[in-house]
Amino acid sequence: MNGSTPPQLPLRSPKVMLIGAGMTGILMTIKLREAGITDITILEKKESLGGTWRENTYPGLACDVPSHMYTYSFEPNPEWSHLCAYGSEIREYFERVGRKYGVTEKILFNEAVTRSIYGKGQWTVTSSKGNTYVADFIINCTGILHHPAKPDIKGIETFGGDMFHTAEWNHTVDLTGKRVGVIGTGSTAAQVIPEVAKAAGKLSVFQRTPQWIFPWANKTVSEKSKKKLRDNPNRVRRLRGLYVWMMANLLTKATAGHQPQRAILSAVCQLNLKLSIKDKSLRKKLTPDYAVGCKRLIVNKTFYKAVQRNNVDLVTEGIAEITPKGIKTRDGKEHELDALVLSTGFHNFNFMRPMDMRGKGGLKIDDAWSKKVQAYRSMFLPNFPNSFLMLGPNSPIGNYSVIAMSEVQCAYILKIIGHWQQGEFDEIDVKPSAFKSFNEYLKAGMSKTVWVGGCQSWYLDDDGDPALWPYTWQQWEKEMKEPKMADFITEKFPPKTEKTTKKNEVSAAA
Ligand code: NAP
């Protein structure tokens, strides 16, 4: 033995296709590059980056987790103007990060993926511009809540005034002095309603189900505080650590069924309702009949004030139909409206669709998910090898920071790609048995969660199974730390011959 180590083969360099340039697409690009992976194509369907923070522009739009927690861990921002920053500021943050890390200049804007087809270790991706790309991996960074759900209410198409969904806010419509209706009282509505109430002559809020509200005033950060944070980066880190600790140990533990945390949340929300709403009959209308946290907890300090304004009417009678003049409720009353805002949420099970994605054997994503939208560890689907989904089914969304979740997923994906770079495989697919047992594990966690607390929400699917992570944040971090390679089927293909290379090599037509 001469003691010399065998020569190291150079790492393979994958072609990676990123679909979407929102928060997860920007993150993934930065982290892939840090790992030395540079052959990255980023397709973005719209004209700018930012995802949900580009799409949503409704008045009152803000983050509802503390901003120092809603930042990339590697890019703290001492400049946040409020405890929970407003939408435009968050969008600017992502634009700044995109520029700083040279992501923006690499994005192919106004180019949507229309189809992606898998074949032997590679994906062939077609775009709305008719271009074709080949990639060893595709990473769907397409977000969750981006397909507005418009209510299927009788007569909706007959409404004679202005009508739009909160995610498609029509800024050409001036609501000043108008008779405005808002359907919905979820997290978005709680932010929209106080703003619309200030402008409207009369605002009718159509509430189907009351919500629990955790009181959290969106305080302005003083220049003095910002300077302290700017001068001492450790302060920002400590602040972030504090919020992470609070959210992980109070909110996610409460939803996962930990009793002391649930009791605290319940007490605070009940007290908030009692102290905020003096009128007993209004309080009754606003009192939910399900456990706190069953629906997404609203974090807000302005909604209760808004519904007590003289120009605001909280309508709890069910909607019978929408008429050319307004909304008719089941008691026969017609609420005349000049404008109607649909704050009715999103189709949260769409993920990367309507993209035509076809895995092994031509399996279509719509067929794979026809009965149930599930994944293995939120990121993988059997028969869709070499493809990952950021913030997929059962990501622990809730009231936690989606950025923190994405960073965990990103690290996991890089580890998988790292094995490919070492030449261990050309194709990686999750075993159906691992997919099944992971989803059984999720179901098993469900019974203890607060989501079975007697409500209906987007947190549950049609079978009553969780759309979110039913355990704690700590459990998520633990489970997602290392890929269990035994849960995957991997394959190596013989090197391509000249002929097959030519056949498969489809370069960008751009
Ligand atoms: P949502 O939570 O799904 O709420 C939709 C609202 O519309 C509910 O009040 C629902 O009533 C009502 N609704 C739906 N269809 C209706 C119909 N046909 N008739 C009457 N009412 C109807 O949607 P969202 O408020 O847009 O929030 C969605 C998610 O976006 C949140 O859970 C959160 O994850 C995210 N979000 C985040 C922030 C942030 O700052 N980070 C801000 C806003 C939103 P029911 O309750 O009876 O179904």
Q: What is the pLDDT of residues 204-226, one digit of tens each?
A: 999 999 999 999 999 999 999 99
**Confidence (pLDDT) at 4:** 63
pLDDT digits 0-9 by tens, 365-417:
999 999 999 999 999 999 999 999 999 999 977 789 999 999 999 999 999 99
Structure-block tokens of residue 303: 């909604």
Q: How many helices (H) and strands (E) does the chain have?
A: 15, 21
Rounded to an integer, what distance in angstroms lies between the CA atom of residue 58 and that of residue 78? 25
Using the predicted structure, report yes or no on whether residue 452 has a pLDDT greater than 60. yes
CA of 422 to the centre of ligand 1 (A): 45
CA of 133 to the centre of ligand 1 (A): 37
State the pLDDT confidence band at 497, using cuts at 50, 70 and 90: low
Structure-block tokens of residue 320: 């019978």
From 192, 296, 350, the mutation candidate for ligand 1 (largest count of ligand atoms within 8 A of CB) is: 296
CA of 110 to the centre of ligand 1 (A): 28
Say which residue, 27 or 9, is predicted with more confidence: 27
CA of 123 to the centre of ligand 1 (A): 35
Structure-block tokens of residue 51: 């995802």
Using the predicted structure, report yes or no on whether residue 507 has a pLDDT greater than 70. no
**Confidence (pLDDT) at 7:** 67
Structure-block tokens of residue 104: 């923006």
Shortest-distance Cα residue to atom 4 of ligand 1:
186
Burial class of residue 371 in the structure, from the number of CB atoms within 10 Å of its CB (0-12 exposed, 13-18 middle, 19+ buried): exposed
Tell which residue, 365, 341, 352, 367, has the closest CA to residue 164: 341
**C-alpha distances in angstroms, 485 versus 233, 290, 431?**
38, 41, 10
- Specify the ligand 1 atom closest to the Cα of 457: 48
Using the predicted structure, report yes or no on whether residue 500 has a pLDDT greater than 80. no
* 136 Cβ contact list (under 8 Å, min separation 6): 14, 15, 16, 121, 122, 123, 386, 420, 426
**156-164 mean pLDDT:** 98
Burial class of residue 57 in the structure, from the number of CB atoms within 10 Å of its CB (0-12 exposed, 13-18 middle, 19+ buried): middle
**Confidence (pLDDT) at 430:** 98
Q: Which domains does the chain have, with CATH numbers?
A: 16-147+348-504 (3.50.50.60), 156-342 (3.50.50.60)
Using the predicted structure, report yes or no on whether residue 440 has a pLDDT greater than 90. yes
Ligand 1 pocket by C-beta < 6 Å: which residues?
62-64, 145, 151, 153, 183-189, 206, 208-209, 296, 319, 343-346, 456, 458
**Confidence (pLDDT) at 506:** 37
**Confidence (pLDDT) at 202:** 98
Shortest-distance Cα residue to atom 14 of ligand 1:
344
**287-299 mean pLDDT:** 94
Using the predicted structure, report yes or no on whether residue 466 has a pLDDT greater than 80. yes
CA of 67 to the centre of ligand 1 (A): 21
- Specify the ligand 1 atom closest to the Cα of 145: 30
Q: For 301-328, b where at least 16 C-beta lie within 10 A, e where not — what string?
A: bbbbebbeeebbebbbeebbebbebbbb
Element containing residue 443 per DSSP (H, E): helix 432-446
Average pLDDT, the chain: 94
Shortest-distance Cα residue to atom 43 of ligand 1:
188
CA of 52 to the centre of ligand 1 (A): 15
Tell which residue, 297, 273, 272, 271, has the closest CA to residue 283: 273
**253-261 mean pLDDT:** 90
Rounded to an integer, what distance in angstroms lies between the CA atom of residue 253 and that of residue 15? 39
Cis peptide bond upstream of 354, omega within 30: yes
Rounded to an integer, what distance in angstroms lies between the CA atom of residue 159 and that of residue 323? 5
State the pLDDT confidence band at 505, using cuts at 50, 70 and 90: very low
Using the predicted structure, report yes or no on whether residue 492 has a pLDDT greater than 50. yes
pLDDT digits 0-9 by tens, 339-354:
999 999 999 888 999 9
Using the predicted structure, report yes or no on whether residue 3 has a pLDDT greater than 70. no
Shortest-distance Cα residue to atom 46 of ligand 1:
209
CA of 56 to the centre of ligand 1 (A): 14
Using the predicted structure, report yes or no on whether residue 140 has a pLDDT greater than 70. yes
Rounded to an integer, what distance in angstroms lies between the CA atom of residue 180 and that of residue 93? 32
